[in-house]
A and B are shown apart, each in its own frame.
Chain A
Amino acid sequence: MSATAVRRLPPVAEVAVATMVLVIVGGIYLASSLPKQAALGPAVGLLAASGVLLAWNVITLRRLRPFAWATFFLVARWSLVGYIVIAGMLEYVFVRDHVRGSLLAVLTLMLTVYAVNIPLLLGFSVARYQSPAGD
């Protein structure tokens, strides 16, 4: 499929980048107050918004027909492995630093959104240029 012939797809990549921005802003907000705990309200709001965008992306992706799903899952699966390692490292650092309770819960959920969102973005970014017939 030629680049010029690529069909119009929903803004999955753009929404995934917006999701990442929300998670990173929330992470910076919380991390800038450590070891003390910042007010969780803004962080929970950012987390909820990022969760909504991620859910929208998953639902939108599920409706895509035809799509190079084999390529999508190939890239997303291996990216997920990598980002689970990265998110696991960050989670380990937080636990090691005695972050506990609701703060740890919010940070863990942010890392979860991050670790799911980026493989989705990478999988989509590659699969969109692949021919569904090649699957």
Chain B
Amino acid sequence: MSTAVSEITHELPLDHLAGPSGGMPRPDFSIVPVRGLPIVGAVLALLVVAIAGNWLWALDLFHVAGGGLWTGIDLFVGLIVGPIIGRLSIPARVEFSTRFMPKMLLLMPTLVTVTLASGFQLALHLGNLRSSYPNHGWIIASFIVVGAMAVIAIGILEPANIAVLFELKKPHPDGELIARLMRRFIYTAGITGLMQIATLVIMSKLAVG
């Protein structure tokens, strides 16, 4: 893992993007993919309905599907896609980022919200939150892991993601800045990916009691 990260975070030769000669072709893109907003709205509406109706099966579906996607995407991006991006040519890397990062901007907060809200409701209904629950300590451990991941994802990863998108929108993007922010993005994606392994262990333990 550390090898993979170090391979992709060595100095990226993006400097030529800066300055007047940095007019390399970049696809036009929208920072927030507006067409995805109705889908996000529909998913959140379904979640509200599931919570209001106390539909345990739907809450379970939201938690398992949302959590599985969240964990899988974090691991996949941090450990598989990240190193691949690091080996792409600069134009390919920029083109990939302009298409990939806006989608992540909608997808990840939605998955996180759906997973946490449904998981909390599920734990409450199943009595897992009670201090008398035999695995209460594991529940608290999951809160702590999720809290740490939230700080890293929202406090470091997300700002870097948005700042890169704004930089790429400029007529003359600053290559050095993009390299620095992408490095931060890939490092934090790797760290949250590793923390997701802890989540998998905790959830597997909770599932069998």
How distant is the Cα of A88 from the Cα of B96 in the complex, in angstroms? 33
| Interface status of A93 (Cβ within 8 A of chain B) | yes
> Looking across the interface, which residue of chain A has its beta carbon closest to that of B147?
A24
How distant is the Cα of A101 from the Cα of B167 in the complex, in angstroms? 46
Contact (Cβ within 8 A) A86 B113: yes
How distant is the Cα of A3 from the Cα of B130 in the complex, in angstroms? 50
Contact (Cβ within 8 A) B44 A85: yes
Q: Which among A25, A28, A32, A90 is the interface contact of B117 at CB below 8 angstroms? A: A90
Which residues of B have CB within 8 Å of A129? 163, 166-167, 174, 177
> Looking across the interface, which residue of chain A has its beta carbon closest to that of B148?
A24
How distant is the Cα of A93 from the Cα of B47 in the complex, in angstroms? 11
Contact (Cβ within 8 A) B144 A28: yes
Number of A-B contacts (CB under 8 A): 90
Contact (Cβ within 8 A) B159 A125: yes
Contact (Cβ within 8 A) B180 A3: yes
> Looking across the interface, which residue of chain A has its beta carbon closest to that of B179?
A3
| Interface status of B38 (Cβ within 8 A of chain A) | no
Size category, B interface: 35 or more
**A-side interface residues, number (CB < 8 Å):** 39
Contact (Cβ within 8 A) B139 A32: yes
Contact (Cβ within 8 A) A2 B176: yes
Contact (Cβ within 8 A) B151 A96: no
Q: Mark B104-117, 1 if CB is under 8 A from A, else 0.
A: 00000100010001
How distant is the Cα of A16 from the Cα of B124 in the complex, in angstroms? 30
Contact (Cβ within 8 A) B109 A75: no
How distant is the Cα of A71 from the Cα of B162 in the complex, in angstroms? 12
| Interface status of B197 (Cβ within 8 A of chain A) | no
Contact (Cβ within 8 A) A89 B113: yes
Which residues of A have CB within 8 Å of B113? 86, 89
Q: Which among B140, B150, B167, B180 is the interface contact of A32 at CB below 8 angstroms? A: B140
> Looking across the interface, which residue of chain A has its beta carbon closest to that of B41?
A85
Contact (Cβ within 8 A) B159 A2: no
- A19 CB to nearest B CB, Å: 9
Interfacial residues, chain A to chain B (CB-CB below 8 A): 1-4, 6, 13, 16-17, 20-21, 24-25, 27-28, 31-36, 71, 75, 78, 82, 85-86, 89-90, 92-93, 96-97, 118, 121-122, 125-126, 129-130
> Would you list 26 pairs from A and B whose C-beta atoms are within 8 A, ordered by A residue?
A1-B174, A2-B177, A3-B174, A3-B177, A20-B151, A20-B154, A21-B151, A24-B147, A25-B147, A28-B140, A31-B129, A32-B129, A32-B139, A35-B124, A75-B162, A86-B113, A89-B47, A92-B48, A92-B51, A93-B121, A96-B52, A97-B121, A122-B162, A125-B160, A125-B163, A129-B174
Give me the 7 closest cross-chain CB pairs, A-B, nearest first: A125-B159, A3-B177, A17-B155, A24-B147, A28-B143, A3-B176, A32-B140
Interfacial residues, chain B to chain A (CB-CB below 8 A): 18, 32, 44, 47-48, 51-52, 109, 113, 117, 120-121, 124, 129-131, 139-140, 143-144, 147, 150-151, 154-156, 158-160, 162-163, 166-167, 174, 176-177, 180
